Structure 1
Amino acid sequence: MDPFSDEKVIDAWSRNASQWTDAVRGRHIESRERVTNRAIVDAVLGYSPQSVLDVGCGEGWLVRALSERVNTVVGVDAIPSLIERARAAGAGDYRQATYEEIALGAVDGTFDVVVCNFSLIGRTSVEQLFSAIPSLLSPQGVLIVQTLHPASSCGDLPYQDGWREGSWAGFGAGFTDPAPWYFRTLGSWVALFRESRFQLFDMREPIHPTTCKPASVIFIAGLARTSLPG
């Protein structure tokens, strides 16, 4: 198996589903607890949706949080063991499907918000998913993506697209075999939205209160109503 591939991402997350569930439910991830969890909940609820699709829902924390305020919340994830854990915790409708399967129509219906919270890790699978999301949005629906901020996650490596080695540092004990991830520059993220028929409405940079640096970046986009120049 190629150590830098979408296939390896799925393999690594499958191996660490239990550890991830413990880390999230045990509140071991400091940046999420202090900044990014609230940032994504506020971003979604700011659009007063009646229906939400959480793509890459993991063990289901965001679905559970949104279900308190949203009529219909569906979570979908590629990892069967994460979906099992999400269902066991209750609240929400959970389905197992890869991003490639979603691109082929595995999820029915349309939603007021499609949200991807730190779940766009791969390369080709993410690009395929983006091409399918327009068909999952209601006419006035929005796509909300929270991901690592390119400026703060680049490290000492060149600021250019490419696969990076993963790390479970700061997530708690028991993790093995870190999942690789595909780094995109800010410009590449913007281009991905544009090429997938989206128009960016907003870009937010939640700031960590201690480091005073971006803990993430949140993109909010809707379907482009006219052809964009260029």
Structure 2
Amino acid sequence: MADSAPRDAANWAAKIDRLQVSDPSDTHGYNVQGKRVAGPMNGFGRLWQRTYTAALGTAVTPEAVIADWRAHFGEYWPRMGRFHSSLSTLQPGDVTALTAGGVTTGVMVLYADDTSFTFLTPEGHMFAAMITFSAESDAAAHTIARISMLLRCSDPLFESMWPLARRGEDLFWPEVLRNLGRAHGVTDVTVAERTVCVDRRRLWANWRNVRHNAGIRTVAHVVRAPFRRTRPEGAP
């Protein structure tokens, strides 16, 4: 008898070798298209586990929070970043570009269900990371929204920028949770942050990741912009 597929098979992205941007009209996918995914063990720097948590009251369920978050993910970002997606709702396997801190890169949706969704980063992203967005009810029936990350800086250059990047993350993600809370009627959102260094080793075998560095490639893309030939209207 053949093995049956797992019950949650539809919640996982299909296995792929190279990423393809889900919206082919998106001009920001140049640092994502054709790249491989890069999880924490593909990075260079120290391994960190970071968590941001916020209570969103009892008026909204975890399922409603996640449904809204998946449908309007980029709308909750502060102005320092932009999520370049025209997708109606994030689905497993979706690949989309983003810009944060002036660097254009992207993410792939690895997993999504009613109470959580998870991103993997591509080669060249500042972090080689797995990032999970989730919601659950606590013992008092409050809905708790959470952003959990397991990450390494992807190459030596980005590792040297970790102190600055960490401060930026500590501004960015709490504001996302506050914006999410405001959308669900919670005007005073307190965000708790926790950071643990899981592994202080740097993976020197991965130092060559710098060739994919999205910061360098973003600058090169901008510099070359005036010299790129634009296609005539109606050209194939």
Asked if these proteins are the same fold (TM beyond 0.5), I'd say no
Structure 1 or 2: larger strand share?
2
TM-score, with structure 1 as normaliser = 0.27
Highest relative contact order (Cα 8 Å, sep 6+), 1 or 2?
Answer: 2
Structure 1 or 2: larger helix share?
1
TM-score, with structure 2 as normaliser = 0.26
